[in-house]
Amino acid sequence: MQYVLYEASQNIAIITLSRREALNALNTAMMEELAGVFKKIAKDKNIYAAIITGQGDKSFVAGADISEMKDLDQKRAHKFAAFGSSVFRSIEKLRVPVIAAINGYALGGGLELALACDIRIASEDAIFGLPEVGLGIICGYGGTQRLPRIIGPSRAKKMIYTAERIDARAALAIGLVDEVVKKDELIKRAMSLASVIASRAPIAVACAKEAVGSGIDLGMDDACLVETDIFCRCFATQDQKAVMDAFLKKEKFGKFKNR
């Protein structure tokens, strides 16, 4: 792959976006490679968690490639946005949690990418914003939908309507990110968190992600039914039987087998 670096270690996938000369801006080729990586993770039963970050120390993703968008007509713009939106939606549909390790700029499509992830950790110098209305467009990869769900409609509208940029501490204060760490500790902290997730029962973690994602926009009665249906599936796993048996016997449990 030309624009996406991929490695796997200790049941954790690490995805690095690599267009440093363009501050890791998303172009079509990079999005196609990302789509392929997410399909690869979906098929790999040995991956229990994933981290996505940007190459270098200046930018996570500085946005989508404006040179590719400038001359689009409505038909091509629809295709452009639909593809990008589907790639980011696939993150939410992955069975494994995805952690965004946000280094530097997370603007436009970069913030939209981070919003699609399960957990967001930012370096102290991270900058966030959705500048689209200043360019005569709106978000096309889910930003107007995910941001209000994460920080609330009023705050989201202010960010979207004004195209304002906020720093990492402000992002933490409004719940846009979950943690802020020093720049040189970002990947280490993301790996530490991913390792904790990977140490839990993989099927149970996948079920938990599915339950949250499936129920979050439902009424409480329907959402609890979704949870009940997913809860009972865990009792068909060997891991559930083994760990509960060890717990009752007061024995030290070994490693989950993802079965």
Phi/psi of residue 230, nearest 5 degrees: -75, -35
Q: Could you confirm whether 21 is annotated as catalytic? A: no
pLDDT value of position 236: 96
Which of 3.90.550.10, 3.30.450.40, 1.10.12.10, 3.90.25.10 would CATH assign to domain 201-248? 1.10.12.10
**pLDDT value of residue 1:** 87
Residue-level pLDDT at 57: 87
- The DSSP line for 207-234 is HHHHHHHHHTTS-HHHHHHHHHHHHHHG
* From 92, 132, 185, 227, the catalytic residue: 132
Give domain limits for the chain.
Answer: 4-198, 201-248
Q: Report pLDDT for 15.
A: 98
The segments of the chain whose pLDDT lies below 70 read: none
Q: Which CATH superfamily is domain 4-198 in?
A: 2-enoyl-CoA Hydratase; Chain A, domain 1 (3.90.226.10)
32 is catalytic: no
Its pTM stands at: 0.95
Q: What is the pLDDT of residue 39?
A: 97
Contact 200, 256 (CB under 8 A): yes
Give 24's DSSP letter.
T
**Of the residues 7, 32, 33, 112, which is catalytic?**
112
